[in-house]
Chain A
């Protein structure tokens, strides 16, 4: 299911304090998301690429991940240039592509890829459980962290349950078609999955109660900050401030 294939590695980025990675990832993505000028976005993209290079992840695997999102962005490129009002840039038959439309689409493309690259470089290089712990050290509400960790732990179990159910359907000759029987069977499948997950949740909660759970989740892990972490945090904060400045200067 969730393979966390980027989370193990020996690079500088892998060894950074996960709390700092989360802080930087959040600040950086917010700044990039609200920036509107390519003069600020392009340096941000360069920064993301630099971080990515530091992780020493396989470029091919990262590229495949990006492909998923860029598939969606492709549709924006098919629509935006022709629907945005502005100066004519090119024409294809009756369709008129505007300069503003193309700029708009490129901004979205750059933003998306920049944020995604930063997320892969910073968050995907941290094991999910460590992320949960780091979040709790950053005073993110326990409930959110529980949701996050439980989703991770049980998505696999629920997927297995799903596979059991679909196998049970398949061995009795079920073939999806466009008819009521198919829709009804799928509805049963989803319903059954919900009911089973609910039961499972109840049992897990009981098992936790039996082991003294009272709403507070304690953790074993401890993080230590070293000089590399501090250096990284200061440089990244400076870079993010730089991006804010570039964006602000572009508007002013």
Chain B
């Protein structure tokens, strides 16, 4: 383990998909061991792009990426880092490509060079940890949206990453599944970056929030808990709000 606690260090990163618009505009960002950071921002503000730059899926047009204290420039640098950083994709259908749940969860451990029995073991344990025991032979495309979300998380956690990047983990999940995922994520002892539009979720899972807009990142310390007055139909009936 590095003595330096700086895990992700992005300096002066610029990136664009087309010439006329910078998606990331000289952006700098740090993640220290144990940090749990939330990223909020409008659609198209470059949040997903930022995660993909960290994983080396996209290469910045300028700026420097340092992961675990080492500069990452080439595919092989990122390959090494990907063993220690897990990325949960926005759409579970992108993440789950094997026909069965067990095969999919074991895919990462197998790639890490584990022998099949050990990979199977890891996969089963990870599934059990997420309360998904008995899912191993289910067909991935026949899972419900919520189940897909949980299994996707299992596929990433099975690799035992030190850092977790999550791209809208609660998107499209119902209340119960969201609560379940929130509990799981809260209980993880990992450094994390969360992208979400769900402020309730972020306030539960993160220590700090950054806002992204126009390819820049800003830290807003003035995040204050506050009560809401709100209105909705049947509001007269006694009821509770979960979040």
* Chain A interface residues (CB < 8 Å from chain B): 128-129, 149-150, 152-154, 156-157, 200, 203-204, 206-214, 218-220, 222
Contacts and interface: CB of A to CB of B under 8 A. Distances in A.
From B79, B82, B119, B141, residue with most partner A Cβ within 10 Å? B141
Interface string B77-117: 00100110011010101110111101100111011100010
B219 to A, nearest CB: 27
B134 to A, nearest CB: 17
A193 to B, nearest CB: 15
A220 B94 contact: no
Given A212-B83, A220-B106, A220-B110, A129 B140 contact: no
B159 interface: yes
Interface of B: 52, 55, 57, 79, 82-83, 86-87, 89, 91, 93-95, 97-100, 102-103, 106-108, 110-112, 116, 119-120, 140-141, 155-156, 159
Nearest to B75: A209
B99 A218 contact: no
B79 A214 contact: yes
B116 A222 contact: yes
25 contacts: A129-B98, A149-B98, A153-B98, A153-B99, A154-B97, A203-B91, A206-B55, A206-B57, A206-B94, A207-B89, A207-B97, A208-B97, A210-B57, A211-B86, A211-B108, A211-B156, A212-B79, A212-B111, A213-B107, A218-B110, A218-B119, A219-B110, A220-B106, A220-B120, A222-B116
Contacts of B79: 212, 214
What 4 A-B pairs have minimum CB-CB distances, sorted nearest first?
Answer: A212-B111, A218-B110, A211-B108, A203-B94
A134 to B, nearest CB: 14
